Amino acid sequence: MSSTVIITVVTLLILAFSSSVILYFISQKFKVEEDPRIDQVQEVLPAANCGGCGYAGCRNFAEAIVNAENLEGINCPVGGPDVMAKVAAILGKEAVKSDPLVAVLKCNGAPENRPQKVEYDGAQMCRIKHNYFIGETDCSYGCLGSGDCVVACKFDAIKMDPKTNLPVVDDDNCVACGACVKACPRNLIELRKKAAKNRKIYVACSNCDKGGPAKRACNVACIGCGKCVKVCSYEAITMENNLAYIDATKCKMCRKCVDECPTGAIIEVGFPPKKVKVEVVEDAVQSN
C-alpha cells in the first residue's frame, strides 16, 4: 500500500475516534435528566395522540401522570381501564376506578318531526351556520346537520344518517375522547356513562324554550312539563330552563319516564320490545 493511502486511513481513523470521544463527553454533559418512568408509561399507551385525555399527545400525558401526585382526574379514554391499570402498576400507585363513557347526541329532530322552514346555501359547517342564523328549522337549539362532529372524530365512530340528517354514534368504536363534544357549536353531544348491552335512556332534546314554541318547532321536543321528574323513583331526573335531564349515574333503567313523556322526547335504546297484552274477546268467539 502506498504511503498516501496509509496516511489517509490513519488520519480518518484518528478523526473518527476523536469525534466520537468528543460527542460522548458532550452527550454526557448536556444529557437531559428524565424520569425513566416517562418512557415506560409511554410504552403502554395506545399512541393514538388523539388528545382525548386532555393532554397534547401520549408523551405529554406520560409526563403529566409521572409528575402527578395521584391518578385522580387523569385518564386515557382510548386505552381504558386495562391501560390505566398498567400505568398504575409502573408508577406504584392506585388505579382510579372510572366508568366507561360513550358519546350521545341530545337531539332527535329528524325532518319528519322538525320540519325545515328555509333553505341554506352557505358553507356547510355547523359552526358557520350557528353564527349566521338559528338554523333551517324553527328550533334554535337543535342539530344543524352539517357534520362538524363527523369531521372531528378520529375513530370512525360517528356518521351522518342521510335520512334523519342527524349524526349516529357507533357505540363500539366510540372511545369517548370528547372531540365531537368540542366540535359541536351547540353542545348537543354528551359523554354519558356506558351501560351493559349499550343500553341508553336519555332526554334526546336540548331545547330550552317554553313548551309552546318548543313543540311548535319540533314534535318530539321536551316541553318542560316535569312529568318525568315526578315519576322517577330514583331522583335521577332534574328540570332546568324548561329542559329535563337524566343523570346516568342515578338512573336504574326502569323506563317509567319513557312511558310518561307526552312528546316522546325521552328515548330508550337497546331494550327488547315490550310484550303487548292480548285480550280475549269471549262474546265474539261464542257468537261465531
Partner 1 sequence: MKSFPAGGIHPSDNKLTAGNKIERLAIPSSVAIPVSQHIGAPAEVIVNKGDIVKTGQVIACSKGFVSTNIHSSVSGKVNKIEEIADASGFKQLAVFIDVEGDEWEPSIIRSSDVDSNITLSSEEIIKRCQEAGIVGMGGAAFPVHVKLSVPEGKKCDVLLINGVECEPYLTSDHRLMLEHGEEIIIGVSILMKALKVDTAMIGIENNKPDAIENLQKIASRFLGITILPLKVKYPQGAEKQLIKALRNREVPMGKLPIDVNTVVQNVGTAFAVYEAVQKNKPLFERVVTITGKTVAKPGNFMVRIGTPISTLIDVAGGVPEDTGKIISGGPMMGKALRNTLSPIVKGTSGIVLFPEEESTRKEVGPCIRCGKCVTVCALKLEPYLMATLSEKGMFERAEEEGVANCCDCASCHYICPAGRPLLDYLRLGKSTVLKMARERAAKKLAI
The footprint of partner 1 (CB under 8 A) covers: 117-118, 121-123, 125, 127-128, 131-135, 138, 140
Closer of 54 and 264 to partner 1 (Cβ): 54
Closer of 119 and 282 to partner 1 (Cβ): 119
Instruction: Tell me the closest approach of the beta carbon of residue 100 to partner 1, in angstroms.
Output: 28
Instruction: Tell me the closest approach of the beta carbon of residue 107 to partner 1, in angstroms.
Output: 17
Distance CA(237)–CA(216), nearest Å, equals 24
Closer of 63 and 148 to partner 1 (Cβ): 148
Instruction: Tell me the closest approach of the beta carbon of residue 143 to partner 1, in angstroms.
Output: 16
Instruction: Tell me the closest approach of the beta carbon of residue 118 to partner 1, in angstroms.
Output: 6
Count Cβ atoms below 10 Å from residue 223 Cβ, excluding itself: 23
Closer of 12 and 118 to partner 1 (Cβ): 118
Closer of 117 and 197 to partner 1 (Cβ): 117
Q: Within 13 Å of residue 234, how many CA atoms lie on the same side as its CB?
A: 13
Q: Pseudo-torsion of CA 258, 261, 263, 266, nearest 10°?
A: -40
Strand duo 243-246 + 266-269: pairing: unpaired
Instruction: Tell me the closest approach of the beta carbon of residue 202 to partner 1, in angstroms.
Output: 27
Question: What are the two backbone dihedrals, phi and then psi, of residue 238, each rounded to the nearest 5 degrees?
Answer: -125, 160
Closer of 60 and 140 to partner 1 (Cβ): 140
User: In sequence order, which ranges of 189-253 are alpha helices (DSSP H)?
Assistant: 211-217, 227-231
CA distances from 7 to 10, 17, 19, 174 (A): 5, 15, 18, 66
Instruction: Tell me the closest approach of the beta carbon of residue 209 to partner 1, in angstroms.
Output: 9
Distance CA(105)–CA(145), nearest Å, equals 12
Residue 241 zone, left/alpha/beta (φ > 0; ψ -120 to 50; rest): left
Instruction: Tell me the closest approach of the beta carbon of residue 34 to partner 1, in angstroms.
Output: 28
The amino acid sitting at 24 is Y
Q: Within 13 Å of residue 250, how many CA atoms lie on the same side as its CB?
A: 11
Closer of 133 and 234 to partner 1 (Cβ): 133
Distance CA(61)–CA(113), nearest Å, equals 44
